Amino acid sequence: MTNQYKLHLLHTGKVRIEPELAFGGDHASLAKASGFSLKRSPKIWLPVSVFLIESPHGLLLLDTGWSRSMSPKGEFDKKAQIKSLGSRILYHVNQGVVPYGETASEQLAQKGIQPKDIQAVIISHLDCDHDNGLEQFKNAKRVLVSEEEYEYALKHRIRFYKKWWSDLKNLDLYQWNDTEGPFKQSYDVFGDKTVKLINIPGHTAGQVATKITNPETGKFILYVGDGGYGEKSWKKMITSGISMNKDWQKRSLEWIRKQSHDPNCKGVFACHDANLEPMTIEF
């Protein structure tokens, strides 16, 4: 085993949403952010990113992006997407496309990595563009979802589609066992403080940021899922248009911003940051 840590940022297609969904702020209308308002803005395309982590504990994958079923022919396909998402409402809120060779499993295969080689798939939260591709990783060793997020998803069936995860035999629902983060709720995955899943609620109830720390150097990276849709979210405290609790979301953003100012922070990454390109960094 090596003490070297690497992060690989991969774009797994794109998602098209209302700009107010990502950067609507505190006074955003839910109807407008969801695309159901009569006064709609032109939709924007944002990347759907996943993160492959090389660590002494093995390979970790942060979120899964889209399934191939979203774009069977590698192009935009309305009928296929409605079937994959299980809902015309979800299709209306966020459309997606994933060209050939760009699903998470396809890109990992290009690196010689099979799903069974993944030690843990860590899901930030259960929105479609983060876990629609879970079917690709039914042979990974573990799929980690916070129990709080799982229970939240079951209560909000319009937003979440149980089929994305219901057939997984490797689903690992965890409870908080540590106290890091804005709400003092976190999960220490390996018991050595190198990989912590930190509750950052607001967008959903059980959403987590993944903090991975190299114990030899103290350097860390932080993946926040949709805790912010881009760096400006935590720099300017811009909440998203779809939020279950704005006050919680602002508290989470404040914590993310504080982490970004830590001299040991090698980067804070959001899933949909349009300013991020595929990259590899060591930390």
**Average of per-residue pLDDT across 157-175:** 96
Say yes or no to pLDDT of 2 above 60.
Answer: no
Percent of the chain at pLDDT > 70 equals 99
Say yes or no to pLDDT of 1 above 80.
Answer: no
Q: What is the CATH number of domain 6-282?
A: 3.60.15.10
- pTM here? 0.97
pLDDT in tens, 222-281: 999 999 999 999 999 999 999 999 999 999 999 999 999 999 999 999 999 999 999 999
**Average of per-residue pLDDT across 84-88:** 96
Integer angstrom CA distances of residue 274 from 48, 84, 149, 263, 277: 9, 25, 26, 24, 8
**Average of per-residue pLDDT across 190-207:** 98
Tell me the residue type at 36: F
More confident residue, 99 or 37: 99
3-state helix vs strand vs coil in the chain, percent to 5: 30, 25, 45
**Average of per-residue pLDDT across 37-55:** 92
pLDDT value at residue 38: 78
**Average of per-residue pLDDT across 140-147:** 98
Cβ-based burial of 14 (10 A; exposed 0-12, middle 13-18, buried ≥19): buried
Tokens for 230, please give them: 């881009």
pLDDT in tens, 57-78: 999 999 999 999 999 999 999 9
Strands (E), the chain: 6-17, 44-55, 58-62, 95-97, 118-122, 143-146, 171-174, 186-188, 195-199, 208-213, 220-223, 265-269, 279-282
pLDDT value at residue 39: 78
pLDDT in tens, 115-139: 999 999 999 999 999 999 999 999 9
